[in-house]
Structure 1
Amino acid sequence: MGIPYDDLVLITPPEKEGDPSVITVNCPDKTGLGCDLCRLLLFFGLNIVKGDVTTDGKWCYIVFWVVGKPTTRWDLLKRRLVGACPSCNSASAIYYYRSELQQQKPPDVFLLKFCCFDRRGLLHDVTEVLCELELIIRKVKVSTTPDGRVMDLFFITDTRELLHTKKRKEDTHDRLRGVLGDAMISCEIELAGPEIATCSHGSSFLPVAAMEEMFRLELTEEFQSGFAIANNVSVMMDNTLSPSHTLMQINCQDHKGLLYDIMRTSKDYNIQTSYGRFSLNERGQCEVDLFMQSDGKKIADPSKQNALRSCLLMELFRPLRVAVVSRGPDTELLVANPVELCGKGRPLVFHDITLALKMLNTCIFSAEIGRHVIGDREWEVYRILLDEGDGPSVPRKKIEEEVTKMLMGWK
């Protein structure tokens, strides 16, 4: 017999104040499961302080020790984690992967269009409501008119798959009205047809100088050792300790979504983790041990080892790229993050960008999210044109630093 559906995921609250909550996942295994779970924990704003992963290739047992917030919706998180687990037939204990045996229908994309009077922090407040409603922002276009009105176009998908219903639309409208109040002029939600979805594509033009600045760091062989020492980062691989697995040991400074970045890289390289342990010390340093395989074997190819190691070093140092550049007489903030091979982008990026700008008391004149292929990877690029107004402007270096800190969780 398989385990009961409700026991796939167990969440144990802390025994005393200050202790982490414990999340236990006991389910069939699949390549990339750790990445999918870590992405959900990141979406819910949880910080992973410790983790253990064990699998025999068919069934896995994962434990996360996490620190949440007073507003964390634990029941909802449990439902989302259960939904991310591969399904199993409890009667016959035969496991199957829904993603492999069933053709997944792409989620419907909806256009949320609203007009309102502008104010500082408005875009972040709207973004926060959408995140709370589990509406995933795929693309956005925001523009401000000379008379102080804002026209926002959000292309969104619904995690709950209910946005086609009247009640879900009304709930979304009411939540936005609660935040915007009398500033809201109009609000519409409609299914984005092909003719509308084409408006969601980002501009094909990206400023060359800014792209060179954001992507100039390449980890060549001679640069790697100095880079690792300067940034206190270590990625070591050993094939002598196990007859069938490669051991990867990682030491680095913690940042928001660190374990997600590691697991995302492993997933994109089709690496399976048979055993893993993650721990975070009081100084904010992380230690990660992973016993891994590729196609059921050790990672013996030196070129694949070097490629994986170089990619991980970059992800540990700069999982997101941030730059503040000139756009004519104006200032533009650019943020880029890599997209998973499956097409998913990093969660909460737009939320954190708008929160950092709100705390800096900096207004947004226009915003755009688009996807671009840079090098051999697809990136999600956020372009934010800042409205510096008539008052004293925030130094560009300060904007870049504060946005980076917010995205990396170093606030």
Structure 2
Amino acid sequence: MGMSWEDVVLIEEGKNSDEPTVVTVNCPDKSGLGCDLVRNVLEFGLYVSRGDFSTDGRWCYIVLWVVPRPSLLIIDWDGLKKRLVACCPSCLPAFYLNQLPDSSKPPPIYLLKVFSLDRKGLIHDVTQVLCELELTIQRLKVMTTPDGKVLDLFFITDHLDLLHTKIRREETCTHLSGVLGECCISCELELAGPEYKIQQGFCSISEAIADELFSCELSTRENRSQALSADVSNVKKAVITVDNLMSPAHTLLQIQCLDQKGLIYDILKISKDFNIRIAYGRISTSVKGYRSLDLFIQKDDGKKILDVENQATLCSRLKEEMLHPLRVMITSRGPDTELLVANPVELSGKGRPRVFYDVTFALKALGICIFSAEVGRHSTSDREWEVYRFRLDETRGVPSTSNRAKLDIVDKVRRTLMGW
């Protein structure tokens, strides 16, 4: 006899506005479940203030205390619940499973064409509408014409799996037209064709830029930029202790590091990619800007991590994610100024949520216009990266081409991405 689908995910909103919402997940366990759940929480613009994980290898019980980011006024809790339920292994009655998107196959890609008059903040406003409608940007091409118009090509997927319906497509275009107002010339939405494969071919990055962007070590320029956001000694500080004596069956990882947006997701992403099982975990609240995590873990064969080299590899990758989860730099692309943002993707191929939203939000706050933008992938020797490239319109918005002005742009973008 199966459990009620209503009990798989429970969401209890705080009684007061300053109280966190409690999200409880009670379902069969699977590899990487915690990462998948937290990824969706992050995608809805929520921050995990604390959490508890517990599993016996077959069944898990997860509690997350979440709060919305200050910029969010309304949260679609029902939409979040459906998304979280879809992450859980099948323990639901067939009639409810039929209401959830089929995650066993890649979602269809749709092409959204927005042709409009250009203005500051246009790209972010479109991105915000897509987030509100639970549409995810997979690829993007922004083209500005000499006469002050812009053609945005958004290759998107629908978490609700409803874009094949006329009403969903019309709702999206109507919502966009309403937000963009008189500057919107036309809005079209259709199933993507061969042009999507063309967009997948990402233009190459020079070796010098790639070496700096994807380096494990912070460059001198990035160290200076990090120091603008927080004391550099704090940014560099991430402590991981490996203990094989505390538990007879588990390796204990004790982690302390600077708090930042997506921290829990970054840590759980590494455990998922390394096929590590978290039998019990506790995420403590932030204290003076620091987070502490206690994770009792096992390898996928149910044994401790005793090999010293394996321990070192795991700790090294965790520290890299905690200290440097996103790469931000400004460079010259011919006569133009280009902003590059990169983040490593999961082995499953999923990129970090809301990166494009945060970058365009930061540029809008600075009053900087985007001349063109691209989203693509880049492979290094050991991992794949999602890379966002923004050509900034120096005729409008960019205060100057001085190094200090560029450093300020990098710092604002990084602050927004890290939630500082």
Whether TM-score is above 0.5 comes out as yes
C-alpha contact (below 8 Å) 2:138/2:155 kept by paired residues? yes
Measure, in 2, the Cα distance between the counterparts of 1:182 and 1:53: 49
The gaps in structure 2 that reach 5 residues or longer are: 95-99, 219-231
Pick which of 61-70 and 36-45 moved more.
61-70
1:81 aligns with 2:84: yes
Report what 1:116 is aligned to.
116
**Change in CA separation of 1:110 and 1:264 when aligned onto 2, cut-off 3 Å:** same
SS in 2 for 1:280: coil
**Change in CA separation of 1:247 and 1:120 when aligned onto 2, cut-off 3 Å:** same
Measure, in 2, the Cα distance between the counterparts of 1:279 and 1:393: 41
1:70 aligns with 2:73: yes
1:260 aligns with 2:265: yes
- Equivalent residue letter for 2:319: L
Report what 1:14 is aligned to.
14
Q: CA deviation at 1:232?
A: 2.4
Report what 1:56 is aligned to.
56
> Number of residues paired by the alignment?
394
- Equivalent residue letter for 1:113: K
SS in 1 for 2:78: helix
Q: CA deviation at 1:200?
A: 1.5
Which digits, 9 at most, give the CA deviation of each residue in 1:261-296, with x for residues without a partner? 000010000001000000123412100000001121
Q: CA deviation at 1:229?
A: 7.6
1:399 aligns with 2:409: yes
**What is the aligned-residue identity percentage?**
55
Which digits, 9 at most, give the CA deviation of each residue in 1:187-215, with x for residues without a partner? 2111112x222222243311332222222
Report what 1:359 is aligned to.
365
Q: CA deviation at 1:340?
A: 0.6
C-alpha contact (below 8 Å) 2:202/2:378 kept by paired residues? no
**Change in CA separation of 1:208 and 1:346 when aligned onto 2, cut-off 3 Å:** same
Q: CA deviation at 1:405?
A: 0.5
**Change in CA separation of 1:90 and 1:239 when aligned onto 2, cut-off 3 Å:** farther
Report what 1:375 is aligned to.
381
**Change in CA separation of 1:391 and 1:83 when aligned onto 2, cut-off 3 Å:** closer
- Equivalent residue letter for 2:86: G
Pick which of 169-178 and 2-11 moved more.
2-11
**Change in CA separation of 1:30 and 1:147 when aligned onto 2, cut-off 3 Å:** same
- Out of 304, 324, 328, the position equivalent to 1:322 is 328
SS in 1 for 2:284: strand
Report what 1:235 is aligned to.
240
Measure, in 2, the Cα distance between the counterparts of 1:409 and 1:51: 19
SS in 2 for 1:251: strand
Pick which of 68-77 and 142-151 moved more.
68-77
C-alpha contact (below 8 Å) 1:202/1:368 kept by paired residues? no
C-alpha contact (below 8 Å) 2:261/2:418 kept by paired residues? yes
Measure, in 2, the Cα distance between the counterparts of 1:391 and 1:372: 29
* Mapping 1:164-175, distance limit 5 Å: 164-175=164-175
C-alpha contact (below 8 Å) 1:48/1:66 kept by paired residues? yes
1:280 aligns with 2:285: yes
Measure, in 2, the Cα distance between the counterparts of 1:263 and 1:333: 28
Report what 2:294 is aligned to.
289
Q: CA RMSD in A?
A: 2.0
SS in 2 for 1:27: strand
When normalised by structure 2's length, the TM-score is 0.90
Which digits, 9 at most, give the CA deviation of each residue in 1:172-193, with x for residues without a partner? 0001101111211122111112
- Equivalent residue letter for 2:381: G
SS in 2 for 1:314: helix
Q: CA deviation at 1:90?
A: 6.8
C-alpha contact (below 8 Å) 1:155/1:200 kept by paired residues? no
When normalised by structure 1's length, the TM-score is 0.92
The gaps in structure 1 that reach 5 residues or longer are: 92-97, 220-226
Measure, in 2, the Cα distance between the counterparts of 1:406 and 1:333: 14
SS in 1 for 2:63: strand
SS in 1 for 2:364: helix
C-alpha contact (below 8 Å) 1:210/1:323 kept by paired residues? no
Measure, in 1, the Cα distance between the counterparts of 2:171 and 2:408: 38
Pick which of 182-191 and 291-300 moved more.
182-191
